[in-house]
A and B are shown apart, each in its own frame.
Chain A
């Protein structure tokens, strides 16, 4: 997307000069701090799927949590649908959280182990009745290819793919402006991965949903995303359209990421699929 077009459009997510500093205690007991995210700026426009790639520890999850108003921000601004999340507190913050939903990497551990699937949906319906509207559980489940038989089950009684679909239903039923998907396919087998990716694509195409898609899988990012940011040690080192980004990487780190993709995935990253 050209800079001119970017400036003309209103972004759904606007992260500007964001720094997130974590404090850790050393073995000696002394506290030390480091920037998990340093001076990062990124935008997601309506109906866009934007990839965020980088290896473990690059700051992707810290950034994702901050975008969902779940982490502490040291400096900078996060604006979602025109609302500055960093200035909100209490009830306003909770209401704003519902507008940015997250799908987690491990679907089972993101569901309360003692809450039946139906009870989880009911809880959200009661808390956010205006956001959820009149849509029934069955209608919600059918959108992700599940049937109502799953409502009485507990998370440990369903498969990983089903659990991830339930997580997606729970996120989507709140009609968020932005969906943050943090490695949503990494624990799933290839067939289920493809189905989940197709779901994200259909949400974008049919509902105009904006998605920040966090992944270390370049093949998936290339296949799904309109733009991508490459993150290393808390800094955005490169961004652009996935095809050009992965075919002609400029930054050494992006080159290394592309070259590190093994076998078939490398072909996918190079657009040969």
Chain B
């Protein structure tokens, strides 16, 4: 019962956040100026502008436009693109698979390498291995992804001709953008895992586990990592949300047909309805992932599960 109430509370909180994100995106995009002038050009007559405004509903009072916008969202309608001549949802749908592929692979690579690196560094705190891993993580976090992407393209695509430089296609096309994008979650996950594990390894139950003759691997991965995992899981959730709603730089460098390039195109062409749709979609993705992370806490920490079930 408590789990139901807890989930309901989280869902309602998420809906309020979504409403705020939609409201902000609506009013901020209106502050950017009149999109109809942008669409028709400076030579357009006032009559042409008025006609287009009426066609798009921009002639109505702002609060009416806002209530229509929110009402459409409630009915899962994110409006039509001003330029593409199709619904924003269908535009997002056409790009989402490419973004999901790239995000999933990049986050998986980051997690699969980042967690063991963080654990290994913490287990050898202060030793040379720890210093090397910590330095690599800082480099990974500081290096601009557009530069890394370009370097990888220059070396592996142009010089060695091993892999394609960009665009979607087979698995080969995924390698360079995935590796480039993975540096962000990899570095962050490795650093946070190391920090959380360093604290946990000083806890007395870890000394007690060693005293009972448990293997080093079991102490590290079963007892310490499980207890250090909550902040890491939270970070992974945030990384998925961020990358899914648009890994703009990496997608642009590799001409990857995902949501990031769609967002860039929308901003460049001042397609405000598409920009609003992408903001709402991004916020919704974040909220859903955070909700899943919250529910995952219950499985990772039986204390949370017990308190939810009471």
Distance in Å: Cβ of A134 to nearest Cβ of chain B: 19
A127 to B209, CA, bound (A): 12
Q: Which of B193-230 contact A (CB under 8 A)?
A: 203-205, 207-215, 218, 223, 226-227
Contact present for B210 and A106 (CB under 8 Å): no
The CA of A156 and the CA of B210, in the complex, are separated in Å by 21
Give the residue of B210, B212, B218, B226 whose beta carbon is less than 8 angstroms from that of A114.
Answer: B226
Which stretch, B5-13, B173-181, B182-190, B298-306, touches the partner chain A? B298-306
Counting CB contacts under 8 A, is A83 at the interface?
no
Tell me the residues in window 255-310 of chain B with beta carbons closer than 8 Å to chain A beta carbons.
300-303, 306
Q: Give Cα A101 to B226, complex, Å.
A: 24
Q: Is the beta-carbon distance between A94 and B213 smaller than 8 angstroms?
A: yes
B-chain residues with CB within 8 Å of residue A171 when the two chains form the complex: 212
In the complex, residue of chain B having the shortest beta-carbon distance to the beta carbon of A100? B211
CA distance A43 to B208 in the complex (A): 23
> With the chains together, A174 CA to B209 CA distance in Å?
13
Q: Note all chain A residues with C-beta closer than 8 A to B203.
A: 109
Q: Is the CB of B302 within 8 A of A114?
A: yes
Residues of chain A within 8 A of B211, CB atoms compared: 68, 70, 97, 100-102
On whether A116 and B302 interact (CB within 8 A), knowing A94-B213, A94-B215, A128-B213, the answer reads yes
Q: Is the CB of B213 within 8 A of A157?
A: no
Taking a contact as CB atoms closer than 8 A, the residue among A102, A114, A128, A154 that contacts B208 in the complex is A102
Tell me which residues from 103 to 119 in chain A have a Cβ below 8 Å from any Cβ of chain B: 104, 106, 109-116
Cβ contacts under 8 Å, A97 to chain B: 210-213
Residues of A within 8 A of B300 (CB): 114
| A94-B301 in contact (CB<8A) | no
On whether the beta carbons of B303 and A154 are closer than 8 Å, the reply is: yes
Chain A residues whose C-beta falls within 8 Å of the C-beta of B226 in the assembled complex = 114
A95 at the interface (CB under 8 A from B): yes
User: Would you give the shortest CB distance from A189 to chain B, in whole angstroms?
Assistant: 21
In the complex, the chain A residue whose C-beta lies closest to that of B207 is A70
Looking across the interface, which residue of chain B has its beta carbon closest to that of A115?
Answer: B223
Report the interface size for chain A: residues with CB under 8 A from the other chain: 31
Report Cα–Cα, A265/B272, bound state, in Å.
79
In chain B, what residue has the closest Cβ to A112? B205
CB atoms of B207 and A157 under 8 A apart: no
B205 & A98 in contact (Cβ 8 Å cutoff):
no
- Verify B205–A95 contact, CB threshold 8 A: no
CB distance from A212 to the nearest CB of B (A): 13
| Residue from A113, A127, A128 in contact with B205 in the complex, judged by beta carbons closer than 8 Å | A113
Q: In the bound complex, what is the Cα–Cα distance between A156 and B310 (angstroms)?
A: 15
Give the distance in Å from the alpha carbon of A111 to the alpha carbon of B206 in the complex. Answer: 9
Known contacts A109-B203, A114-B227, A101 near B209 by CB under 8 Å: no
- Chain B residues lying within 8 Å of A101, measured Cβ to Cβ, are 211-212
Residue of B nearest to A98 (CB): B213
Q: How far is the CA of A170 from the CA of B214 in the complex (A)?
A: 13
Contact indicator B303/A65 (Cβ below 8 Å): no
Which residues between 38 and 87 of chain A lie within 8 Å of chain B, taking CB atoms?
Answer: 65, 68, 70
Q: What separation, in Å, do the CA atoms of A211 and B269 have in the docked complex?
A: 79
Q: Least Cβ distance of A75 to chain B in Å?
A: 22
Cα(A223)–Cα(B215), bound, Å: 37
A36 to B203, CA, bound (A): 20
In the complex, the answer to whether B214 meets A111 with C-beta atoms within 8 Å is no
**A127 to chain B: closest CB distance in Å?**
6
Do B205 and A110 touch (CB < 8 A)?
yes
CA distance in complex: A174, B214 (Å): 12
Determine whether A124 belongs to the interface, using a CB cutoff of 8 Å to chain B: yes
Taking the nearest CB of chain B, how far is it from the CB of A80, in angstroms? Answer: 13
CA distance A154 to B302 in the complex (A): 8
Q: How far is the CA of A191 from the CA of B264 in the complex (A)?
A: 71
Whether A114 and B213, one on each chain, are in contact in the complex, defined by CB atoms closer than 8 angstroms, is no
| Distance of A124 Cα from B218 Cα, bound (Å) | 12
Residues in chain A near residue B208, CB distance under 8 A = 102, 104, 110-111, 167
Within 8 A of A (CB), among B56-73: none
In the bound assembly, the distance between CA atoms of A170 and B211 in angstroms comes to 11
A65 to B204, CA, bound (A): 12
A109 proximity list for chain B (CB < 8 A): 203-205
User: In the complex the two chains form, is B204's CB within 8 Å of A104's CB?
Assistant: yes
Known contacts A104-B204, A116-B302, A98 near B227 by CB under 8 Å: no
Q: List 17 A-B contacts (CB under 8 A).
A: A68-B211, A70-B211, A94-B214, A94-B215, A97-B213, A101-B211, A104-B204, A110-B208, A111-B205, A112-B205, A114-B302, A123-B214, A127-B213, A154-B302, A157-B306, A170-B212, A174-B212
Which residues does A use to contact B, with CB under 8 Å?
65, 68, 70, 94-95, 97-98, 100-102, 104, 106, 109-116, 123-124, 127-128, 154, 156-157, 167, 170-171, 174
Smallest CB-CB A-B distances: 5 pairs: A98-B213, A110-B208, A109-B204, A97-B213, A94-B213
Apart from A70-B210, A167-B208, 12 more pairs, CB < 8 Å = A68-B211, A70-B211, A101-B212, A106-B204, A110-B208, A111-B205, A112-B223, A113-B303, A114-B300, A127-B212, A127-B218, A128-B213
